[in-house]
Amino acid sequence: MDWGMKNRLSRMIKADGRTVMLAVDHGYFLGPLNRMEEPKKTIAPLIPYADSLMITRGTLRTSIDANQDIPIVLRVSGGNSVLNEDLSNEGITVCIKDAVRLNVAAVALSIYLGSPHEHQTLINLGKLIDEGQEYGIPVLAVTAVGKELEKRDARYLSLASRIAAELGAQMVKTYYCDDFAKVVKSCPVPIVIAGGPRFKTELDALQLAYDAIQEGAVGVDMGRNIWQSSNPVGMIKAVRAIVHDKATVKKATEIFHGHKSA
Ligand code: 5RP
């Protein structure tokens, strides 16, 4: 692997081999989600506890201070909205030169296995990886399921994660599932997990993060379960303790409750 690619990956995955990515890119097809109406206000207090920020270029340019030292994982796929039943009709929405201009650590794109636009999204991934290789920018492939959340089982996620890695993605973001260790074992590149829609309790989300780490994920790329929490800073601190400090769920819950939201 070339120096630039390695260096960028090391900005995302820390020396302990782990990472806490904060996902705030949802607006690219979901618009202003609850608690992300004003991205600047929601994101700023969380940045000190995140290893990187997964974000669109619009939110990056309008809402993040360029003086801040936070690696950026730029969402570069899109082209649909939640108003459509099928969310898989995505293209590449950002050229690689703009990603370079934004000094990103990585670019991220969704693939939709088994969807009407499977082929197109896999070709998008191949093209993005070619461009990333040219500039030394790693690609994070997101194994997206659109509205079909029930697809998220080990068989489907292993297939999608492995195909992403075979096509050359340097990292994969997928979902936690039963038998998650099998997904990790058959994917030769580091895996992070998304949190998915908000759980009933923070404890559930912390348990998910804990289980994923135990079964081989290098970290999380979590959004709604952090910033839609009533105590977002407490939540990201708790997740961080699980990912980087080997905290148990009990310890992480104490950390969550120990931080009082303003
Ligand atoms: C949106 C994404 C999100 O980054 C991803 O789903 C992680 O966020 P959450 O934990 O809220 O699911 O890829 O398309």
The active-site residue out of 173, 182, 200, 251 is 173
Ligand 1 probe mutation, 90, 112, 142, most atoms within 8 A of CB: 142
Buried b (16+ CB within 10 A) or exposed e, 3-27: eebeebbebbbbeeebbbbbbbbbb
Q: Is 173 a catalytic residue?
A: yes
Average pLDDT, the chain: 96
Q: Bigger pLDDT: 50 or 152?
A: 50
Domain 3-258 fold is TIM Barrel (3.20.20)
Residue 147: predicted pLDDT: 77
Distance 29 CA to ligand 1 centre (A): 11
Strand partners, 194: 175
CA-to-CA distance for 262 and 254, rounded, in angstroms? 17
pLDDT tens for residues 83-109? 999 999 999 999 999 999 999 999 999
Strand partners, 143: 111
As a whole number of Å, the CA-based R_g of the chain is 17
Distance 118 CA to ligand 1 centre (A): 19
**pLDDT value at 262 more than 70:** no
Domain boundaries, the chain: 3-258
CB count within 10 Å of CB 262 equals 6
**pLDDT value at 117 more than 80:** yes
Residue 151: predicted pLDDT: 79
Residue 105: predicted pLDDT: 98
Ligand 1 probe mutation, 19, 25, 143, 172, most atoms within 8 A of CB: 25
Distance 223 CA to ligand 1 centre (A): 6
Q: What single letter denotes the amino acid at residue 2? A: D
Mean pLDDT of 188-201: 97
Query: E-assigned strands of the chain?
Result: 19-23, 52-55, 72-75, 77-78, 91-92, 106-111, 139-143, 171-175, 191-194, 219-222
Mean pLDDT of 34-55: 98
Distance 258 CA to ligand 1 centre (A): 26
Band (pLDDT 50/70/90 cuts) for residue 114 is very high
Mean pLDDT of 121-141: 98
Answer whether 25 contacts ligand 1 (Cβ < 6 A).
yes
Q: What single letter denotes the amino acid at residue 46? A: L
Residue 1: predicted pLDDT: 83
Band (pLDDT 50/70/90 cuts) for residue 145 is confident
Band (pLDDT 50/70/90 cuts) for residue 39 is very high
Give this prediction's pTM.
0.96
Give the total residue count for the chain: 262
- Ligand 1 atom nearest 25 alpha carbon: 4
Mean pLDDT of 237-253: 98
Answer whether 53 contacts ligand 1 (Cβ < 6 A).
no
